[in-house]
Structure 1
Amino acid sequence: MKKIWMFIASLCFGISLFAQNGNAKQLCSSFKDCISKAEKTDIHRKKIQLYDEAIVNFKSSDGEKNRISILLKRANSIIKEANGDTGYKGEIALKVTHKPEYKKQQFDKASEDLNSIEPNLSLLNTSEQTLYESLKSEINSQNP
């Protein structure tokens, strides 16, 4: 009888966990909200998540220039994170080392963003164009 109650309890607990994961909480409510939250954090993984969400929430009324700028910022954060920069600040700068496969995968993602930007380079301001060239160069040096 004790085994049956333990089984029922574990089953209920499992269903409870499944229900919580099934209703994943949105990180932000709109393109602008996502951008605002991303700008408030230094942590690259969090920035990437928020930029991903911003792209999902993008509407044409948000403006193509804004979409292109977010793709550039996401590529920048992806490359920094892949190179081990966590973005954590404090007394100790936290750096990590990733496996080469993961790093290549992240660089490929960043490259996709940069390729999406390329036809619209004229929408970027001078500093954004400089960042674009820098990121493109870094990707090319990693993937000869």
Structure 2
Amino acid sequence: MPLSDTYRRDLDRLRDREHALRKEMDRYESAAAKADEEYRRHLASAQRASSASTAKTYLNSAERARKKALGEAAKATAVSKKLADNSRDQTNKRRQLEGALKSEQQAADRETEKRRRMEKDHAREVARLATPTVHYVHIKPAEPEKLRV
């Protein structure tokens, strides 16, 4: 399996992870916004309360809502950092993918050039063998034999 396929799979995995992180971040931001709204609502109720104990109850509820909003915002910030890391990883994988594609293309070009050279050499050899070659052999005329008695 080519290296570029591995990088593509990794890049797809990182994109899926980014999508999941974005959903998670939206969920935390939404929860933080709801908790902040609840905080404001409890504060308003505490200000309108007629008795001190009711106001204290509303203030305690407001404090819990504020802590929850801060916690959710902190989680959203952590996810935001993960998103930034994921984005950096995606950039690196894209760069690695481009390099792998380039090297695979160069290897394919070298292979094509090698095959063309072999085909040309073969065609030359076939052409050489197809042309008749005449070799002239120089034969000396026979010398007359000496007679022996």
TM-score, L = length of structure 2: 0.31
Structure with the largest fraction of helix: 2
Q: Between the two structures, name the one with larger relative contact order (CA 8 Å, sep ≥ 6).
A: 2
Work out which of the two has the higher radius of gyration on C-alpha atoms and give 1 or 2.
Answer: 2
TM-score, L = length of structure 1: 0.32
